[in-house]
């Protein structure tokens, strides 16, 4: 684990943004190396206290909180709810100020060791300007979630250098697959290799969880991204990650195919796609044609945007709005193998 450099935090916000993408030469040669500017949170341990926060959508019933608490306790954690975790204003879990206050308070509290979003939904982009990035940088902690939490994961990583985690939210199904990766990445501090499960289910060939290679090869870079529709909202803002030389991971849900096409065109025309070292496409759940007109298939859309980049790209990775989820470290150097369909950490994501 990194020890010598773990207190060498970023000295400026500009340096934090620059650290979001590391050239190949700057990648660590061993798990004990910590690239300059990379900020790692302490690993989570049994007995640690996890803060349940709701920085996006509201949770309308009490039972999901009960299930979330019992799940985290079964994983060995103590649980503390944010002051406004159960608040509601429209579809949001309280006002923008309340949701940001819970997140800032969780980072500031020395009794809190990790922070888990209760759910996604919408509203994370509304609070980015209300977060105390200097406070977060001084108090690095594991922050985990996915979907709309993508905005927080990438903005905090870009502004502070902190490695965050595209992982299950509290109300996700914490099955054996998802829990195993969460433990391995955030608790054990090992360098995980993320690989889809082989589920032949008695059939001569695998029919579920398949990956497709769009362009073969291996590539190294800083892992960035998450939900496509949320990530595109960061373009043109002070919270845009530095995509140069990055490995971009993308997923989405309930978007018509033409909208996926439009968002990828946005990334292309903003110069994001041409700056990348590699791409991993996760699950695009219920992304179907709109009614009343023809459309390209998702495969055709992906081929149009990614096959011509001449970088390793594969699709079908197990992250997104599905039961089985990786816990991907946003901001960490990784290597992808588009032929084998794997993502491998080049060092531990926690210290």
Of the candidates 207, 217, 301, 219, which has an alpha carbon nearest to the alpha carbon of residue 258? Answer: 301
Contact indicator for 155, 239 with CB cutoff of 8 Å: yes
Burial 215-243 (b: 16+ CB within 10 A, else e): beeebbbbbbbbbbbbbbbbbeeebbbbb
**Measured between alpha carbons, how far is 219 from 70 in angstroms, rounded to an integer?**
40
- Pick the closest to residue 79 from 104, 109, 105, 116 (CA basis): 116
Closest CA to 341 of 220, 127, 147, 196: 196
DSSP state of 175: -
Report which DSSP code applies to 147: G
266 is catalytic: no
Q: Which of 54, 166, 215, 251 is catalytic?
A: 251
Residue 142, phi then psi, degrees to nearest 5: -65, 120
Residue that is written with structure tokens 């502004």 in the block: 159
Does the annotation count 147 as an active-site position? yes
Per the structure block, which two tokens stand in for 74?
Answer: 């079964």
The CA radius of gyration of the chain, in Å to the nearest whole number, is 19
Out of 147, 172, 178, 229, which one is annotated catalytic?
147
The residue from 178, 255, 321, 335 that is catalytic is 321
* Cβ 197 vs Cβ 207: under 8 Å: no
Residue 49 buriedness (CB in 10 A; 0-12 / 13-18 / 19+): middle
**Catalytic site positions:** 147, 251, 321
């Amino acid at each position: 684990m990194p020890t010598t450099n773990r207190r060498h935090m970023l000295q400026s916000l500009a340096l934090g943004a620059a650290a979001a993408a590391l050239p190949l030469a700057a990648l660590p040669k061993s798990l004990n190396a910590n690239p300059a500017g990379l900020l790692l949170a302490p690993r989570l341990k049994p007995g640690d206290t996890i803060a349940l926060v709701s920085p996006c959508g509201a949770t309308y019933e009490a039972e999901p909180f009960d299930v979330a608490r019992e799940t985290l306790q079964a994983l060995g954690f103590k649980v503390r709810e944010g002051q406004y975790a159960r608040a509601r204003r429209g579809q949001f879990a309280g006002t923008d100020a309340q949701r940001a206050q819970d997140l800032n308070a969780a980072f500031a509290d020395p009794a809190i060791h990790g922070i888990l979003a209760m759910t996604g939904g919408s509203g994370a982009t509304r609070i980015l300007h209300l977060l105390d990035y200097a406070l977060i940088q001084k108090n690095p902690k594991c922050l985990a979630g996915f979907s709309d939490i993508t905005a927080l994961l990438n903005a905090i990583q870009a502004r502070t250098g902190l490695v965050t985690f595209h992982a299950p939210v509290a109300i996700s199904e914490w099955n054996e697959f998802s829990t195993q990766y969460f433990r391995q990445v955030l608790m054990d501090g090992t360098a995980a290799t993320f690989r889809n499960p082989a589920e032949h289910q008695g059939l001569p060939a695998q029919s579920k969880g398949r990956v497709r290679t769009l362009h073969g090869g291996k590539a190294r870079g800083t892992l960035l991204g998450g939900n496509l529709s949320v990530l595109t909202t960061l373009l043109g803002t002070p919270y845009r990650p530095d995509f140069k030389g990055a490995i971009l991971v993308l997923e989405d849900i309930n978007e018509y195919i033409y909208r996926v096409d439009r968002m990828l065109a946005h990334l292309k025309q903003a110069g994001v796609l041409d700056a990348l070292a590699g791409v991993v496409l996760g699950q695009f759940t219920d992304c179907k044609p709109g009614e009343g007109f023809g459309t390209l298939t998702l495969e055709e859309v992906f081929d149009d945007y990614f096959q011509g980049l001449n970088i390793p790209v594969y699709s079908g990775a197990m992250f997104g709005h599905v039961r089985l989820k990786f816990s991907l470290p946003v901001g960490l150097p990784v290597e992808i193998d588009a032929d084998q369909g794997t993502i491998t950490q080049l060092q531990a994501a926690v210290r």
